[in-house]
Structure 1
């Protein structure tokens, strides 16, 4: 059987998750991942990587639940294996608190995390400015470890990696028979998707080993996430802001806000500041289309998987499996109808 040449664009958590799913599930495909930046220089490397997510407005809820469940189950299996330390995946417990009772007290993912419940009145006394809270155990995935781990898994499955800049998918149409676009914010120029926009996020890593439980304000702006080597505190959500440098005023405000939730942070030592641009979009784009190449008019199948905003890690494996299903549909329509899918 002729090997199908396929390319995945993007080396963040969406790109490598999708590439691994394809390479492991479709061994008759020759899969190459191309990107201009790899870990530790991707947006995913600085992600909080903690698993819960806001609901997207225009995607069926059952599909979102499946994305979350598939991702949670995948990472939970890693967290409970001997690969947990190498992959940077761990279970973490804590709470999400609200200044006003939210319209949805029970989020759609409540049955998928572990031990979901409401905070008691006694527990809420820790946070006098807040009137409602949720406690649960979820998963934290540290991409500075997870991305290299995924790359090794991808290479083991026969995948190839190439560092290059791609300015338009047309550049790939002459070489590959199927393109998987996981370019994140780059999709704005790569495929002309003006719905994709930068959402600037600034975080700090703090040395505070006495903090063991996460705290997140329900507005999503203020959070404290203990990790393996440090505590991540944040953050900002600045729509349309393309600044990639740390703003001292933002850092001071983050420490002030987080200090109100966890006063002991005042004794912590700031180890690093980090800024990344999330690929904001009203809804993630997980769909397929056909690209007609310029010049020879060749038809090339394209599967898109990008635009996850701040939910990249949370939905990465679920949308990768979804994209894999779309890849299989494309292959059925290509010149290899006998391929065993």
Structure 2
């Protein structure tokens, strides 16, 4: 019996998470991941990788909670295992601080992270411009380690990897039974999604081993995230900005803003700069359609558009995408035991 063939397009954290989920859950399938760029050249590679979620306006809250919880639990298992250093996954504790108290003092994910509480007045004295704060332990997932680790796990599950630029889903129509689109910002051209737009982010990697706690300004533009090999400090959120080169003025601004929260940043050695374009849209697209490609009806499962929350939600949306792949194969072959 011929094995069903699944293509996953995209080698960022969403693409590899989805490919691993499909390859491990459906061993009867042949799964191939195709991408033009792999780690260390993906958008995911430079992400700070801290598990922290915003709210999407049109997605049921129970779905957003499930995505967050699935990703958190998956990464927590890795952080507490022997694979933690190789996978680049660690526990991270710290503070999310606000200039003014928010309307919702406890976000939807507050009971899904570890030890969530409100900051005390004495803790807030350290940040005189801020009136309110939340303290908790979450997870930091460094994709420059995590993506190669996921690729190894994918290959162990029998997955195949092919480096090629996919210009059109038509190219894949005769070779695969199901196509999974995890092309991020590339979906703007690949599937004509006009909702997709870049949100430019610039960060610095600095050597500051004395920093043990993250600090995040709740506006999402200034943050310090200590990691395994360096601290990531940032940043910028520039809607519709396609520039990929680092901006010296923004580097200076990042150092000044982060120095305002943590004065010792001034003593940190700058190891590198990084710019990435977050693949943003109003809501992530996690859904299935049946496309007519070169005369064939081919199920296409979409999983993209996570914006700044790719690392946070990747495993959760990958599990949903797996369900859509399974359904597509079952409908194509009702007798198939998947």
TM-score of the aligned structures, taking structure 1 as reference length: 0.98
Gapped runs of 5+ residues in structure 1?
Answer: none
Give 1:36 shift. 0.2
Tell me if 1:229 matches 2:229.
Answer: yes
Deviations 1:105-150 (A, max 9, x none): 1000000000000000010000000000000000000000000000
- Is structure 2 residue 42 aligned with structure 1 residue 45? no
1:72 is aligned to 72
Q: Which residue of 2 aligns with 1:120?
A: 120
Deviation track 1:302-335 (CA, whole Å, cap 9, x = no partner) reads 000000000000001000001001111111211x
User: 1:251 maps to what in 2?
Assistant: 251
* 1:340 matches 2:303: no
Residues 299-338 of structure 1 mapped to structure 2, 5 A cutoff: 299-334=297-332, 336-338=333-335
Residue-pair matches, total: 338
CA distance in 1, matches of 2:137, 2:2: 46
Question: Aligned partners of 2:99 and 2:223: how far apart in 1?
Answer: 14
**Cα distance between partner residues in 1 of 2:280 and 2:249:** 23
Separation in structure 1 between the aligned mates of residue 187 and residue 103 of structure 2, nearest angstrom = 33
Structure 2 residue 129 is matched with structure 1 residue 129: yes
1:67-124 alpha-carbon deviations (Å, 9 max, x no partner)? 0000000000000000001100000100100001112110000000000000000100
- Establish whether residue 153 from structure 1 lines up as the match of residue 153 from structure 2: yes
Show the 5 A alignment for 1:91-102: 91-102=91-102
Aligned to 1:193: 193
**Aligned-pair distance for 1:229?**
1.0
1:177 alignment partner in structure 2: 177
**Which structure 1 residue ranges, 4+ long, deviate > 4 Å from structure 2?**
none
CA RMSD, Structure 1 to Structure 2 (Å): 0.6
CA distance in 2, matches of 1:318, 1:217: 26
Q: CA–CA distance in 1 between the matches of 2:45 and 2:104?
A: 31
Tell me the CA shift for residue 338 of structure 1: 1.4
Residue 339 of structure 1, CA deviation: 1.5
Name the SS of the counterpart of 2:233 in structure 1: strand
SS of 2:55's partner is coil
SS of residue paired to 2:205: strand
Which residue is equivalent to 2:106?
106
- Partners of 1:305 and 1:87 lie apart in 2 by 23
* Mapping 1:236-315, distance limit 5 Å: 236-294=236-294, 297-315=295-313
Distance, in Å, in 1 between the alignment partners of 2:247 and 2:44 is 20
| Aligned residue in 1 for 2:14 | 14
Separation of aligned partners in 1, 2:321 and 2:138: 24
Q: What SS does structure 2 have at the residue aligned with 1:147?
A: helix
Shift of 1:171: 1.1
- 2: distance between equivalents of 1:308 and 1:93? 24
> TM-score normalised to the size of structure 2?
0.99
Distance 1:127 1:197 in 2: 34
Q: Give, in whole Å, the separation in 2 of the partners of 1:192 and 1:103.
A: 37
Pairwise CA distance, 1:2: 2.4
Deviation track 1:218-272 (CA, whole Å, cap 9, x = no partner) reads 0000000000111100000001100001000010001110000000100111010
After superposition, the C-alpha distances for 1:277-302 in whole angstroms (9 at most, x for unaligned) are: 110111000000011013xx110000
